[in-house]
Amino acid sequence: MSGVFRPSNRKGVPAMTAARQKWSAEVTEQSDAMDLEDHIFESDDARKIAASLKRSAEHSHRRKAEPFQSAMSMLNFYINRAGKNLPATRRRVLEHAKDELRVAFGREKEG
Phi/psi for 31 (5° steps) reads -65, 150
Overall size of the chain counted in residues: 111
> H or E stretch including 5?
strand 5-6
From first to last of the 111 residues of the chain, give the pLDDT tens digit.
Answer: 444 444 445 555 455 555 555 655 666 566 555 778 888 999 999 999 999 999 999 998 877 889 999 999 999 999 998 888 999 999 999 999 999 999 999 997 665
Output the pTM of the full model.
0.70
User: b/e for 79-109, b at 16 or more Cβ within 10 A?
Assistant: beeeeeebeeeeeebbeebbbbbbebbeeee
